[in-house]
Amino acid sequence: MKLGYYPGCSLHGTGREFDESLRAVAKALDWPMEEVEDWSCCGATSAHATSHLLSIALPARNLALAEAAGYDEVLAPCAACYNRLARARHEVATDPDLAGRMPELLGRPFANGVAVRNIVEVLQRACSTLSQRATHPLKGLKVACYYGCLLLRPAEVCDFDDPEDPSSMEEVVKALGAEPIAWNLRTQCCGASLSVPRTASVLRLTREILTDARQAGAEVLVVACPMCHSNLDFRQQALVRRGEAPVPVLYLTELVGLALGLPARELGLERHFISTRQLTTRLAAIPQEVA
C-alpha cells in the first residue's frame, strides 16, 4: 500500500521537529512513505471563515494530487490539516452537487478515493511492530496523552476513535513500554490559533491543561498537533517564569523515536522551548535488557 505524505505548512516551518521525527521514525519502521508532489496549503483555520467552497476545494486539490499519484492513503500529521482533508473528503462523498463541481474547480479528475489518516491512527495500527522494535522501551515513564480538538471532532469526519473517551494514543504509548496516565483534560481545547489575538485566554487554558497533567503524575505530555505543541510548549515559558514546574511537551513521533533508540538531535528535541534534556537523561538511565 502506497502512503502519501502531506506535511502541510507547519511541518515545513514552525513544526519542523514534527516532520523530522516523523521521517526518522518512518525510515526506522520501513514505511513506504512519499511526500505528495506539488502540495499546497489546505486552508487550515482561515479558509472556512472566508468561503465554504474554498475550504473544501483547497484540501480537495491535495487529495486529487495524491489520487493522481496512485496513493491509497494520505498521512496528514498536523491535526488541523488532517481535519480539513478529512472534512473535504467527507463533504464531497456526501454531497453529490459538490462532488460534481470538483473536477471543474480543481482542473483535474477527482474520484475522492484516497483515505485520509492522521499520525495517531497510523502508529496505532503499527503497535505490534513498535513493541518489537522498541530497543529502548520507556519503562516507567508516565505519559499524558493530549488529543486536543481537531483529531477527534466532528465525530462523523474524524471517526477513528471515540471523541469523548479516546484510547488510540494510549495504545501507542503502551507499545513503547511507557505508562499512559488517566487525567481529565486530554480532549480540552488549548486555545489553538487564539494564541496571538487572545494570549491571556491561551495562557489560562494552557495552565489548566498542564496543571491537570502534572497533578496526575505526568513526566511528559505528548501531542499530535503543531498548534497544540506551540501553545503548550512555547506559552509554558511564561508559566515557568512564574514558578510553575515545567512539563516537557513532545510530539508523539518524537516519543516513538526515543523508544526506537533514535538520537535526540535527529528527532528535533533541541528545538523545544521547554528543555527535554532532563527527560532524555532520565530515559538514558533506564536499564535495557540484553538480547
Instruction: Check whether 48 has a pLDDT greater than 90.
Output: no
What average pLDDT does the segment 96-110 reach? Answer: 96
Tell me the whole-structure pTM to 2 decimals.
Answer: 0.95
pLDDT band at residue 291 using 50, 70 and 90 as cut-offs:
very low
The per-residue pLDDT for 290 is: 45
Look at the block and give the residue holding cell 498548534. Answer: 227
In order of 2, 35, 76, the CA distances from 26 in angstroms are 13, 12, 14
CA dist., res. 246 & res. 187, Å (int): 20
* CA-based nearest residue to 21, from 252, 281, 291, 279: 252
pLDDT band at residue 199 using 50, 70 and 90 as cut-offs:
confident
pLDDT band at residue 192 using 50, 70 and 90 as cut-offs:
confident
